[in-house]
């Protein structure tokens, strides 16, 4: 849901700092759609170039998920990204992400579940329906994978909020039939969406342009709110997660802190009363607290069974806190953070849905809350997975470690040696250089061998005014040894394409 506004490049352009809501997925291709960019022959490699620049794909067609789309000047979806669509990691019951997805689904039995919605959405669905301004940096081609000007690969699961609410209101069976348990909420007044999302981003062990999110939407009529407020807490069956009843058990797993206040800095919407917002916010927080409690309890059980390393932090394994936040499509808004390995990590963004969205869905009499978070970040924490690329690995040493319904600690297998290469260049004198263009080029060229790419030096020549950058590319396979000769060939391809695609001058 709420991660869509804070890509790394967007915040760099604005000169502000946000935490990344959700880590991205990795660079190894799924077996059904595997299209290697290189073929090894002992000490050499035969490279097949599949990258197409935006100028090369104008006035042509792009095929995604079996459908063809007309391309234009906005098209920037690369073949590497195309090959990720339809991998369906969430449909493999033994995959850590699918295990986590099912655990969350079980915590919301009265919600409809969706996990098969197409990643191809309209710009209206992804941005306009959620109140993103026309000049919002998240709309930029440097942040979003466009199929064409009006069509893109969703950057967050919130792109389906209005679509699913309208489907419920209008009884659109073609969409409602895609729910795994539509009988739980036949009108989509409550639903969960799990899906892959796409964003242009940096390369490192916790970022990649394909990752997975979980979205939740829960709405109430004003009449329901009045009725529920009058019921005793223990008889409120719709408020399914009565956190107070679990506070002692929860404190053994996570120390919870919530000092947030609804006020001028995080205001309610004028269409809502103070009592309505207080009820919906409390329902949302209790629901999320209980969900996190159940998941972290399973992680603690794995720890006690001896699966985790001795470096686990404390008896209160996962301190959790609520903080105020801002998102275009909720108000008030909050984030839920977990303290892990010495820092606070955002695992979830949430808030009271903007009333305009519900009005546009034909539901002016309803209020709602929504939350969304990245599955990879929580799965890395729970399973102890150190490198996000592993989620896409087909190596049996990884895939055989997990089973449905169970959280267990990942047992590392031998790390293969890395190979580091630097590339220095002068920025082009004409046009703009954007780091995400370089990241995409490296991914497209190196495939699943690139572990991270970092800017290590930048300076401007005092006489010419020209700017030079130096990037360090770290190559490391998750499942085999790579030779220096092999990497040299790939590095030459990277350098060659940097000149052709980015217009830089190598040093």
pLDDT confidence of residue 199 = 95
* Cα(347)–Cα(23) distance, integer angstroms: 10
Burial class of 266 by CB neighbour count within 10 A (0 to 12, 13 to 18, 19+): middle
Candidates 242, 266, 254; CA nearest to 323 is: 266
Q: Peptide bond preceding 332: is omega within 30 degrees of 0, i.e. cis?
A: yes
Note the pLDDT of residue 40.
32
DSSP state for residue 490 in the 8-state scheme: H
How many residues are recorded in the chain? 507
Tokens linked to 283? 């329902």
Q: What does the pLDDT read at residue 485?
A: 92
Rounded Cα distance between 417 and 408, Å, is 27
- Taking phi over 0 as left and psi of -120 to 50 as alpha, with beta for the rest, 140 belongs to beta
Specify the pLDDT at position 480. Answer: 84
C-alpha span between 348 and 346 (Å, rounded): 6
Portions of the chain given CATH number 3.30.70.380 = 416-507
416-507 topology per CATH: Alpha-Beta Plaits (3.30.70)
Q: Which of 165, 260, 151 is nearest to 198 (CA)?
A: 151
pLDDT tens digits in sequence order for the chain, 507 residues long: 544 444 434 433 333 333 333 333 332 334 333 333 332 332 233 333 333 444 444 459 999 999 999 999 999 999 999 999 999 999 999 999 999 999 999 999 999 999 999 999 999 999 999 999 999 999 999 999 999 999 999 999 999 999 999 999 999 999 999 999 999 999 999 999 999 999 998 888 878 889 999 999 999 999 999 888 877 654 444 444 443 344 434 444 567 889 999 999 999 999 999 999 999 999 999 999 888 888 877 777 766 665 444 344 344 466 889 999 999 999 999 999 888 767 888 889 999 999 999 999 999 999 999 999 899 988 988 898 988 889 999 889 999 999 998 888 899 887 788 899 999 999 998 878 999 999 999 999 998 899 999 999 999 999 999 999 999 999 998 888 888 999 999 999 999 999 999 999 999
The SS3 call for residue 451 is strand
- Residue given tokens 């050499």 in the structure block: 44
Q: CATH 3.30.930.10 residue ranges in the chain?
A: 2-27+79-399
- The pLDDT, as a whole number, for residue 253 is 53
Q: Residue ranges of the alpha helices (H) in 107-214?
A: 123-126, 161-170, 173-176
Q: How far is CA 22 from CA 18, 89, 198, 321, 376, in A?
A: 12, 17, 11, 17, 7
Q: Do the Cβ atoms of 357 and 159 come closer than 8 Å? A: no
Helix (H, G, I), strand (E, B) or coil at 146: strand
Angle made by CA atoms 439, 52, 152, in degrees to the nearest 5: 75
Name every residue whose Cβ is closer than 8 Å to that of residue 283 and which is 6 or more positions away in sequence. Answer: 218, 220, 239, 369
What CATH class has 2-27+79-399?
Answer: alpha beta
Per-residue model confidence (pLDDT) at position 302: 67
What is Dmax (Cα atoms) for the chain? 76
CB 442 within 8 A of CB 203: yes
Confidence at residue 236, expressed as pLDDT on a 0 to 100 scale: 44
Token pair belonging to 448: 């699943």
Residue 428, SS3? coil
């Amino acid at each position: 849901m709420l991660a869509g506004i804070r890509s790394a490049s967007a915040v760099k352009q604005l000169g502000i700092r946000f935490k990344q809501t959700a880590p991205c997925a990795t660079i190894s291709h799924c077996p059904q759609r595997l299209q290697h960019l290189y073929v090894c022959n002992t000490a050499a490699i035969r490279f097949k170039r599949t990258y197409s620049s935006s100028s090369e794909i104008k006035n042509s067609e792009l095929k995604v998920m079996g459908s063809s789309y007309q391309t234009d000047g906005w098209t920037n979806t690369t073949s590497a990204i195309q090959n990720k669509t339809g991998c369906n990691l969430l449909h493999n019951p033994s995959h850590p992400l699918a295990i986590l997805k099912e655990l969350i689904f079980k915590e919301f039995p009265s919600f409809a579940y969706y996990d098969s919605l197409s990643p191809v959405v309209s710009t209206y669905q992804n941005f306009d329906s959620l109140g993103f301004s026309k000049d919002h940096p998240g709309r930029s081609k440097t942040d979003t994978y466009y199929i064409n000007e009006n069509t893109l690969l969703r950057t967050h699961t919130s792109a389906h909020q209005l679509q699913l609410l309208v489907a419920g209101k209008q009884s659109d069976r073609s969409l409602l039939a895609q729910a795994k348990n539509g009988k739980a909420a036949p009108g989509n007044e409550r639903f969960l969406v799990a899906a892959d999302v796409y964003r242009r981003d940096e390369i490192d062990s916790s970022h990649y342009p394909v990752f997975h999110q979980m979205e939740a939407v829960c709405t109430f009529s004003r009449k329901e709110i009045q009725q529920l407020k009058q019921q005793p807490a223990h008889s409120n069956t719709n408020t399914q997660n009565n956190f107070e009843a679990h506070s002692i058990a929860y404190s053994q797993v996570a120390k919870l802190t919530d000092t947030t206040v609804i006020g001028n800095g995080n205001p309610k919407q004028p269409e809502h009363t103070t009592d309505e917002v207080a009820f919906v916010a409390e329902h949302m927080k209790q629901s999320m607290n209980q969900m996190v409690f159940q998941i972290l309890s399973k992680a603690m059980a794995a720890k006690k069974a001896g699966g985790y390393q001795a470096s686990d932090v404390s008896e209160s394994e996962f301190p959790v806190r609520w903080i105020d936040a801002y998102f275009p499509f909720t108000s008030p808004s909050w984030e839920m953070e977990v303290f892990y390995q010495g820092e606070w990590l955002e695992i979830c963004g949430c808030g009271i849905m903007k009333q305009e969205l519900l009005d546009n869905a034909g539901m002016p009499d309803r209020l709602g809350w929504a939350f969304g978070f990245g599955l990879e970040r929580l799965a890395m924490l729970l399973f102890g997975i150190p490198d996000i690329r592993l989620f896409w690995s087909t190596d049996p040493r990884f895939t055989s470690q997990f089973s449905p319904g169970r959280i267990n600690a990942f047992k590392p297998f031998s790390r293969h040696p890395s190979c580091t290469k630097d590339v220095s260049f002068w920025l082009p004198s004409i046009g703009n250089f954007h780091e995400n263009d370089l990241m995409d080029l490296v991914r497209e060229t190196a495939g699943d061998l690139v572990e991270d790419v970092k800017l290590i030096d930048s300076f401007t020549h005092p006489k010419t005014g020209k700017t030079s950058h130096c990037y360090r590319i770290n190559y490391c396979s998750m499942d085999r040894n790579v030779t220096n000769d092999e990497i040299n060939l790939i590095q030459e391809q990277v350098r060659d394409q940097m000149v052709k695609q980015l217009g830089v001058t190598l040093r």
